[in-house]
Amino acid sequence: MSEMIRHRVREFALGLPEAYEDFPWGDTVIKVNKKIFVFLGESGYGVKLPQSHGHALSLPGSEPSGYGLGKAGWVSVVYADVPDVEVLCDWVEESYRSIAPKRLVKLLETP
């Protein structure tokens, strides 16, 4: 189940404008404009959530990301405890919008 969820989250993230996969430190991340907006681990993932931070942390399996990232709004989520894949994709988009340049965010608004 978690592999399927990880795959869906990865595919969604890579479908966002100019998003690409990278492997710093041997980890899988998705970046835009050379900045990480999703960490994809084997058991969970991490995203920056400026608006949904409090809500995400109230759910089982969610916690502030380590290495001080939690203070900057990053949340780590365990795949086994995810509420719904659509919610995860919403969080990926929120993270993307907080990291991506405005010109790319605008592309999400145009039909």
Whether 5 and 88 have beta carbons less than 8 Å apart is answered as: yes
Domains of the chain by residue range: 2-101
The model's pLDDT over 50-102, given as tens digits with 9 standing for 90+, comes to 999 888 888 888 888 887 777 778 888 876 666 688 888 999 999 999 999 99
Number of Cβ within 10 Å of residue 64's Cβ equals: 17
pLDDT for the residue numbered 82: 66
CATH number for the domain formed by residue range(s) 2-101? 3.90.1150.30
pTM: 0.88
Torsion of the alpha carbons at 10, 96, 52 and 39, rounded to the nearest 10: 40
Sheet strands side by side (includes 74-78): 20-22, 28-32, 35-40, 44-48, 74-78, 62-64
